[in-house]
Amino acid sequence: MTDLDLRIANTVRGLSMDAVQAANSGHPGMPLGMADVATVLWTRFLRYDPTDAAWPDRDRFVLSGGHGSMLLYSMLHLSGTALTIEDLKSFRQWGSKCAGHPEHGEAPGIETTTGPLGQGFANAVGMAMAEEWLRARFGEALVNHWTYVTCGDGDLMEGISAEAASLAGHQKLGRIIALWDDNKITIDGSTDLSCTEDIAGRFTAYGWHVQKVDGHDHDAIATAIAAARDVTDRPSLICCRTTIGFGSPNKAGKSSSHGAPLGVDEVRLTKQALGLDPDVSFAVPADVVAGVRAKDADRKVIRESWEARLQDAPQAAELMRFLSGELDVASVAWPVYAAGSSLATRKASEAALQAAAAALPNLIGGSADLTESNLTHIKGSPGFQAGSREGRNLAFGIREHAMGAICNGLALHGGVRPFGATFLIFHDYMRPAVRLSALMHQPVVYVYTHDSVWVGEDGPTHQPIETIQAIRLIPNCRILRPADANETSEAWRLALAHTTGPTCLALTRQNLTTLDRTVYPPASSIAKGAYVLRDVASPAVVLIGTGSEVHVALEAADTLAAEGIAARVVNMASCELFDEQDTAYKASVLPRGVPRVSVEAGTTRGWERYVGIDGASVGIDRFGASAPGKTVIEKLGVTAANVVAAAKRVIAG
């Protein structure tokens, strides 16, 4: 380790302390402890070009412990990638690029939004999978980079990291290197309070290559990273034994340095201990900047050489099309179904997926061990495995949470469009990852089958009562419940055309009758979220149905018509898409002054937004039951008769 190496690391420490202290908020301990590791990685190994931070063949760096964000921000500033010293000074303030936890899109070089522990680790696994898949298709000349992820004790305690690490080990992902901040401290104190397992042994059992080093010895860190890069048939974990709050005379090695500013006096003492000027804040010595940027000319040459290879490559157009993120959904021969045919929407989804996959070669994904139920196997393609990296079928295993986060990593990496599938009820196992899909505007498709109590005999543990409304609560997350097979094709088309957020497809296990589109508007009408499916001249009531319950609403409308009561039927396939429409369109679908009744095989809470205080909702506000699906739906009252009764009540006022 040279004196300059140490000065770079200590400059990172100084910037981190100063930013946290200026904000009077933040986590200084991790940046102080991991500054040496970051210095070695960024100056000796990480392949990037600060003049083009989005260069596709760059190495990816993920800070999984997002609370240590000042470590990343400091390195981005010193490397000249994105952030100014003024940005660092505005740490954790309104409008700052330097949010409390790194937020994807706020500045170049922030590869993913981290903070919820373990998510970044799993994102990194997805990035490594994307790199492997693209390299298999386009060759090492165009795709040849590494994914590095720093993680802490908290990341490795969270279950999602165990799921992701297990899958990474099985997949033999040799291009991911995890650097564990092994400081033995969590918020509550020593890790011995709650975790005494052999983490290195656990990762060895997962099939990882594992090393242990002094996390403050630059040469030892460099040797370990080099050794990890030589092991290409396994992912690597480097256990970096560090001291949290390194350099702080009174808080080093203590939990008190984790999540609060050191304090003005302790910052001064720490700077003195590290050889920094205690009277200068946000100091960035010129020789430190020069040291970090010493290889910038070489970095640029590496990037330009890649661009030259790309220009000469016959696959250049395809690779750039993949990396653009846009899909030519118009080229897909979407399945069309005859009126009166009967098909579960999960089955129609299978056909739509096959059609999409045939036209869109970078559509990849899989299921959480429910492929035969979710019907998400891409036919004609092998599975993505260590021996067949070109495979488009991802076997996530029974790991819903990691599946969601890995899909985020695949999307963030770029070049592939991912989907993940499970039963709707198990959205709860992956909700944090779906929320981050929405927060990061990532176009992941979540295929959720078995979408209601029609699941039947499996009973209340498998019957999603509140799940659809729970998904609707996530900002920037769409959920679509198609009412028949043709709407399912349209739902897939909408999902794949959408590039600024995730789409959830809620699909039936039971068969639904295909609607006659010579009588009703086209299935493409769901693009506006809700549309008038069946209309009358002067409706006395509006019946709003979603998914399979659209058919219940139609049956109720027939009964009301026979009694001389005119009912409009609205198919609200997606509340989110409907909410995006202008006021005039929404009023044309749900006219003011006409009472409304909603029907959905789930909780009625939330429907007051559309039916108003004078309307009614037919749904299920209790857990389900174990019995044949038709029996359950009838016993729980989601029937045309109950919709008719509710309609009469609201008309009567």
- Token pair belonging to 621: 């506000």
State the first-to-last Cα distance of the chain, in angstroms, to the nearest integer: 81
Contact 259, 27 (CB under 8 A): yes
Residues 160, 164: Cα–Cα separation, whole Å: 6
416: number of Cβ within 10 Å: 23
H/E element holding 446?
A: strand 445-449
Q: Give the chain's length.
A: 653
- Name the region of 109 (left: φ>0; alpha: ψ -120 to 50; beta: rest): left
Residues 477, 505: Cα–Cα separation, whole Å: 11
Longest CA–CA span in the chain (Å) reads 90
HSE (side-chain half, CA atoms, 13 Å) at 374:
26
Q: Is 400 a catalytic residue?
A: yes
Amino acid sitting at position 512: L
HSE (side-chain half, CA atoms, 13 Å) at 406:
33
Residues 181, 37: Cα–Cα separation, whole Å: 9
Asked whether the CA dihedral 378, 381, 384, 389 is positive or negative, the reply is negative
Contact 623, 465 (CB under 8 A): yes
Q: Can you tell me whether residue 211 is helix, strand or coil? A: strand
Phi, psi of 379 (to 5 degrees): -70, 145
Contact 237, 210 (CB under 8 A): yes
Choose, from 400, 549, 576, 600, the residue flagged as catalytic: 400
Catalytic positions, written as ranges: 400
